Structure 1
Amino acid sequence: MSTPVGDDPLVRERSHLARSRAALRAMREDVESLDISDVTANWVNAEVLARQIDERVKALADLSDTPLFFGRLDYLRRPGAERTEGTDGERADGADGADGERFYIGRRHVHDQDGDPMVVDWRAPVSQPFYRASKKDPMDVALRRRFGYTGGDLTAYEDEHLLDPAEAAATSKLLQREIERPRVGPMRDIVATIQPEQDEIVRAGLGGTVCVQGGPGTGKTAVGLHRVAYLLYAHRERLARTGTLVIGPNRSFLHYIEQVLPALGELTVRQATVDDLVAHVEVRGTDEAAAAIVKGDARMAQVLRRAVHAHVTMPAEPVVVVRGSRRWRVPVYELEDIVRELLDRGIRYGAAREALPRRIAHAVLVQMERSGEAPDDRVQDAVARNAAVKAAVKQIWPPVDPARLVLRLLTDADFLAAHAEGVLSADEQKTILWTKPVRSARSARWSAADAVLIDEAQDLVQRTHSLGHVVLDEAQDLSPMQYRAVGRRCTTGSATVLGDLAQGTTPWATRSWHEALAHLGKTDGVVEELTAGFRVPTDVIAYASRLLPHIAPGLTPVASVRENPGSFEIRPVTGPADVIAACEESLGNEGSIGLIAADARVPALAKALAAAGVGHLAPGEETTHEARLTLVPASLAKGLEYDYVVLDDPQAIVDGEPDARTGLRRLYVTLTRAVSGLTVTHTTPLPPQLT
């Protein structure tokens, strides 16, 4: 017997989707129609309010190809419990989950004209069972329904009856299909597929720092981004004051992830690289690996601290302040006590320098009071600005320019030796000294590591502004000094640190997360490990994991949970033409294609692609161009993913790095960028670690 149209669950769910979209549209129109012409005191407040309204309008955008809701929760109805329902049985009030209630789970909250929720934000407490409920612990959920979409159209649904003992637990087909959906363009959110172990990290409290060790395809980047979205939901007022920041390894990576947070309705999160954070000078030079290792060592912080405070000199003569017919004299021993007290307090060099004239002025005021005068704060301010006091401060505690200080350390062997004694060896000092004379800090060819040193010196002089929360991705490649630079941005906040020790490809790559957290200033941070792989096919991750004993023997290999094993082929070739042919074969599949090669081989492959008439992009251009093939230098592959990858000449990738271990780690990264299939082409023998 056929099911009446009115009883068809899919029809009812489509109806709820249509009404929810209409409600979201009405919410947006309500904000757009707000008249703020007479509600602000001045034009500044009007500008701020207008910007807030504009951001709210953008956050309420209905993305046609993005499902408005992706799941539903029906809670257990206990005997005697009442249930308040709206049309078609949807939940009609805003309380937490209770007897017999129903919630549609989506990317943002949507309510009708009466204020009743039609879609509940995935970050709300009531949504948590959608990610964590199971047969073993149903969390009072009787039914969990997942929805399948084609484009923006609801086309399927799938039910789990968590309280039915006769129904065996099974892998969700819709969930599996969403995980394995082809990757085209920038990174997508994973809000519909968050797994229980991921959800625990996403919803961890704001007060603590979390470090996530995750192999390729475990979703650590997505977890970090969704954690930001969750924290902004749970602590919006606090984070609106203090700010949030996502730090990625390079611009290509940031372009790749930049649409995830806006898709979740979050538009205010800043994204940057570590180089952006420390951009006090223009970086035009590079370091040899040995020099970069020393400059990135945490011991450089001690050298810089010594060099900064070496500018303080004990007073050699008293300060005499003339006011009217009276002369007030602050003796040398009293000045020394003031200077020592400021040094012992351990405050920033600049803050101490600002405090010094007021301390001297206070000593003068004490003498005035003893002589019977009654000076007030205005007198103290005037004394602090007295020429004799200013001259003494300039001589005792002169201003320090961070860039000039670092330049002197790198060009003056005696100055460096004086402050690096017992910290850096003579050979290490020689390694970082510049061999060519430099006229000024402006004309210097600063390296990226030098900029980090200047940032450290800047913080010694003046405190760096702290944010409420920082997400640091691909953290395994940071030097200790770079960790310190990031840590300065969240001294009063918390951090989410994401990375994979096996993918560390810098000479100073992180050896342990506890060591990294110490450099970050977050020794109380908790380390979590993700080992379930959702992105990389089983055959591909198993092949790449052959490298783990050689690059990170202590790590647990990723276990792929994908049902589709993916395609995997190792193909000997004779030259670039065969590599291009492999790319053309991959283009016959749906989704994005990445041709990954050693950096030195990229120009030749680009030329071969052009000769064959095959259009291609550079990493980061996927958001603005239509071509599906991206030519990726191995050095930029980290963090990116493509449906199909053609990996050119693994041995060339290994040989392109300064040492074999770093080369094998780079190879591990490039082998694990594929979502659906990997073709390895090679003209030279494969590295023995793979065979």
Structure 2
Amino acid sequence: MSDAVRESEIAAEQAYLDRVYTRLDQLRISAAEVEKAGYSLARVGNFGALVERDAMVYHAARRRRALESEHDGLVFGRLDLGPDGVSGADAAAVPPAVPGGEVRYVGRLGLRDETYESLVVDWRAPAAAPFYRATPTDRMGVVRRRSIRSTAEKVVSIEDDLLDPSSAPESMAVIGDGALLANLSRATGRGMKDIVATIQREQDDAIRSPASGVTIVRGGPGTGKTAVALHRAAYLLYADRNRYESGGVLVVGPSEVFVGYVSRVLPSLGEDTASLRSLGQLVEGVHATRHEPPEVAAVKGSLRMQRVLGRAARGPVPDSPDRIRILYRGELLSLDKPALDDLRRTVLNLGVKRNAARAKAAGHVLDALWRQSVELLPSGRQQKREEFAPDIAERPEFIRFMRGWWPVLRPAEVLGWLADRHRLSRWANGVLSNKEIGVLAGSISVGDLSVEDVALLDELHELLGDPPVRKRQPRDPFQVAEGVREVTTYADRMAAARAQAVERPTDYRDYAHIIVDESQDVSPMQWRMIGRRGPHATWTIVGDPAQAAWADAAESGRAMDGAVGTRRRSSFTLTTNYRNSAEIFEVAARVIRRVQPDIELPTAVRSSGVAPVERVVASQELESSVRAAAQSLLDQVEGTVGVITPTSRRDEVAKWVADLAPDRLQTVGALDSKGMEYDGVLVVEPSDIREEAETGFRTLYVALSRATQRLTTVGTRAF
């Protein structure tokens, strides 16, 4: 699809959006005038007029606030229906794209024009259901579904799904990924049309899989795994809104680049229930993008780290006081390090998390000191435990001791302790090898956290717990002032109660459904982290074992089983690659078959007739050759170009091409290319990508399968 067609379609949607916002402004002004008129009723002076004023003003103000609050992203979808989907009542007053059909616009708020013709269908209305529920095998009359993304009042992008290619007229534009299926379906010959039906049926079965349990979707590059995952999120949210709106849906991706991509192509859901997070963003307040070298990642991702971190979290605080001495009634009461260590272990063996056990720890120290006082003092000078404890507990020296011996610990602080090799050797004894201890200790940098560190922080948070906090009383949303509440209806109060029910803490850990994309790259420790976000959740897990960056598949499988539990599982396999041309995918397939000759790969169903370009150049020519190749791809394709590099050279290569069409070109490391898709791809130093890690062949396989139209490789060695 050319840029001219895309811009023309965006302009058409912008014109409609302008019309909608003009009407919105009219309604907002009208609501404000009604609100103002309501206040004038107070001049009548009787009680009935005051009640009527309060009700009129309240409902007018509520309508005005609704019109204002739904301003951004007001319209987010369009349905082009064929003749079998026509209802008439909810049709927008625009010419239908399908002869005999109609158009519906879906948005956050229902709006009608001055003649009561529909402008926007409220996303909660039955007429909007096809936007969420229609699929290629149950189209509900929809030929084309369009997602509209806007900022303020400006349309910035559109994305189409062609659900019924056979009913789409030749003149119908299809923008985005949907254009691939459109082109396939419009090809001559029965074979291509059969392939389109196969793709749609495979994806639809996975999208509509039962919500309960675990849905596992496997498929190679270009089979639409991510599209299935995101459409499944939309389907579940609409099919069981109460359950998933209150509990929430979490979508986890491998990288920030991937999450940014998904946030642009995810069909707008009309509310903020779906949360998008990368593996480096799952811990509140942490935003990590840096990846560790493979040898470090292998240690930090292993389940063995659970034991190392457990020992660190239960051990003595470095540089903490190793004894307490208090003068009491002429006798010196003291506890030495062995006694204090015994007390620490006793408290932690009670099952209370460390940060929540400070009061218990203080109580055990006071008990030990009191027993010592009973042994040292004659009976006439002894105090009862309930008298002794407050006396000692209020002393400055005891308070200072407790602050040093049992402080509130932060996960990042404990993680930082692992940088001390001597200390780490004690905690990792019998768990990690000497080489692994050295690698781990040298990688700890709390000021520069890696993606792999995030799972360790979450594990430490689980071990340490939160310090006790005082609960706050919930705020009354209808309280205007002390003793004064707004006039409300039963419906208002129920709506407020539902809103409070879905208000979540910043570190939310009880999602109703979790979607994990590129699951083959999730390390065992990361599986533990994700599992804590949904102890009662249902799951959708999407991945491709052939692309796995985690070498120990068995360990990762055990960790995944631990996260999802024993829930019933439904498995689906996608077999058709509709992203890559056959020429491009043959290059990627050749790489992965070197290490897995018997692997089952998806079938690339279209041929472009354009062979990938492979260039081997001298090292001194690499920079200029990369620039030339990137510019050539920008000239050859109308859409996006991805420059994929060895992870260690991403920043270097990015500088080489920084001034080449920054709005269309993106430079990513090989690991961050997972899940991405570009019209043209330039892979830099493919041999280095292959050798970066034990799983380098798989990473290179991923990089070579990101392109939809053109693929070029430039390196100093053949791959």
* TM class, shorter-length: 0.5 to 0.7
How far apart in 1 are the matches of 2:584 and 2:697?
Answer: 16
Q: Which residue of 2 aligns with 1:663?
A: 696
Is 1:458 paired with 2:458?
no
For 1:292-311, list aligned pairs within 5 A.
292-310=297-315
Q: Distance in 2 between matches of 1:56 and 1:510?
A: 46
Residues 1:275 and 2:280 are matched in the alignment: yes
Which of 712, 715, 718 is matched with 1:679 structurally?
712
Contact 2:280-2:450 within 8 A present in 1 as well: no
Shift in Å, 1:358: 10
Aligned equivalent of 2:71: 57
Q: Deviations over 1:306-330 (max 9, x none)?
A: 4434569xxx99xxxxxxxxxxxxx
Counterpart of 1:650 (choices 668, 677, 686) is 686
| Secondary structure of 1:275 counterpart | coil
Q: CA deviation at 1:643?
A: 1.2
2:661 aligned with 1:616: yes
Range moving further from structure 2, 223-232 or 113-122:
113-122
Specify the alignment match of 1:475 in structure 2. Answer: 519
1:583–1:415 CA distance, 2 compared to 1 (3 A): closer
| TM-score, length-scaled by structure 2 | 0.60
Alpha carbons of 1:598 and 1:158: their partners in 2 closer, same or farther (altered >3 Å)? closer
Task: Tell whether 2:231 aligns with 1:195.
Answer: no
Question: AA paired with 2:422?
Answer: A
CA distance 1:679–1:311, change in 2 (3 Å)? closer
Q: CA 1:205–1:357 in 2, change beyond 3 Å: closer, same or farther?
A: farther
User: Which amino acid is 1:455 matched to?
Assistant: D
- Residues 651 and 637 of structure 1: is their aligned pair in 2 closer, same or farther, counting only changes over 3 Å? same
CA 1:209–1:635 in structure 2 vs 1: closer, same or farther (change >3 Å)? same
Among 224, 230, 240, which residue is 2:229 paired with? 224
In the alignment, which residue of structure 2 is the partner of 1:69? 79
Q: Secondary structure at the match of 1:178?
A: helix
Cα distance 1:49–1:198, how it changes in 2: closer, same or farther (>3 A)? farther
Residue 216 of structure 1, CA deviation? 1.2
**Could you tell me which of 132, 138, 142 is aligned with 2:137?**
132
Q: Does 1:514 align with 2:531?
A: no
Within 2, Cα distance between the matches of 1:212 and 1:533?
A: 14
1:592 aligned to which of 629, 640, 655: 640
Q: What is the aligned counterpart of 1:567 among 610, 629, 640?
A: 610
Q: Distance in 1 between matches of 2:147 and 2:592?
A: 38
Q: CA, structure 1 residues 288+121, in 2 after alignment: closer, same or farther (shift >3 Å)?
A: same
How far apart are the structure 1 equivalents of 2:460 and 2:557? 25
CA distance 1:646–1:453, shift in 2 (3 Å) = closer
Q: Which amino acid letter does the alignment assign opposite residue 458 of structure 1?
A: H
Q: How does 1:140-539 map to 2 (within 5 A)?
A: 145=143, 178-179=179-180, 195-204=200-209, 206-261=211-266, 263-267=268-272, 269-278=274-283, 289-310=294-315, 343=349, 346=351, 348-351=353-356, 386=390, 398-399=406-407, 401=409, 402-411=411-420, 413=422, 416-417=425-426, 419-425=427-433, 428-434=436-442, 448-462=451-465, 465-468=508-511, 469-505=513-549, 510=553, 514-524=557-567, 526-539=570-583
Give, in angstroms, the shift of residue 467 of structure 1.
Answer: 3.6
Preserved contact between residue 308 and residue 400 of structure 1 (Cα < 8 Å): no
AA aligned to 1:594 is: G
Q: SS of the residue aligned with 1:491? A: coil
Separation of aligned partners in 2, 1:511 and 1:51: 54
Conserved 8 A contact 1:634-1:670: yes
Alpha-carbon separation, structure 2, partners of 1:278 and 1:88:
44
Secondary structure in 2 matching 1:466: coil
Question: Contact 1:478/1:510 (CA < 8 Å) preserved in 2?
Answer: no
- The match for 2:589 is 545
Give the SS at the match of 1:74: helix
* Counterparts of residues 103-114 of structure 1 (less than 5 Å): 113=116
The 2-side partners of 1:285 and 1:302 are apart by 25
Shift of 1:457: 1.3
Give the distance between the partners of 2:63 and 2:290, measured in 1 at CA.
Answer: 44
Cα shift at 1:297: 1.3
User: Which residue type is aligned with residue 306 of structure 2?
Assistant: A
Secondary structure, counterpart of 1:195 in structure 2: helix
From 636, 650, 654, give the equivalent of 2:672.
636
Specify whether residues 455 and 33 from structure 1 end up closer, same or farther in structure 2 by C-alpha distance, changes over 3 A only: farther
Contact 2:132/2:235 (<8 A) preserved? no
Deviation at 1:397, TM superposition (A): 9.7
Tell me, in whole angstroms, the C-alpha distance in 1 between the residues paired with 2:198 and 2:74.
Answer: 22
- What's the RMSD between the two structures over aligned residues? 5.8
Contact residue 28 and residue 64 of structure 2 kept, 8 A:
no
The AA in structure 1 aligned to 2:406 is P
2:380 maps to: none
TM superposition shift of 1:679: 3.4
TM-score of the pair, normalised by structure 1:
0.62
The letter of the residue matching 2:464 is V
Using a 3 Å threshold, how does the CA distance of structure 1 residues 300 and 133 change in structure 2: closer, same or farther?
same
Q: 1:411/1:230 Cα in 2 relative to 1: closer, same or farther (>3 Å)? A: same
Retained in 1: the 8 A contact 2:685–2:715?
yes
User: Is the contact made by 1:70 and 1:147 (CA closer than 8 Å) also made in structure 2?
Assistant: yes
Matches within 5 A, 1:13-32: none
Name the SS for the 2:697 alignment partner. helix
SS across alignment from 1:124: helix
Conserved in 2, the CA contact under 8 Å of 1:571 and 1:680?
Answer: yes
Equivalent position amino acid for 1:56 in 2: E
Q: Spell out, residue by residue over 1:429-488, the C-alpha distance to the aligned partner (whole angstroms, 9 max, x if none).
A: 4543459xx9xx97x766554453232111112276414133333333332112222222
Distance 2:199 2:28 in 1: 31
Q: How far, CA to CA, are the matches of 1:459 and 1:569 in structure 2?
A: 49
Consecutive unaligned residues in structure 2, runs of 5 or more: 1-11, 40-52, 93-100, 149-156, 184-196, 318-322, 325-341, 367-385, 467-506
Q: 1:131–1:195: 8 Å Cα contact kept in structure 2?
A: yes
Following superposition, the deviation at residue 357 of structure 1 comes to 8.5
Moved more, 264-273 or 385-394: 385-394
Q: In the TM superposition, what is the alpha-carbon distance from 1:668 to its structure 2 partner? A: 0.8
Change beyond 3 A, Cα 1:88–1:244: closer
Residues 111 and 181 of structure 1: is their aligned pair in 2 closer, same or farther, counting only changes over 3 Å? same
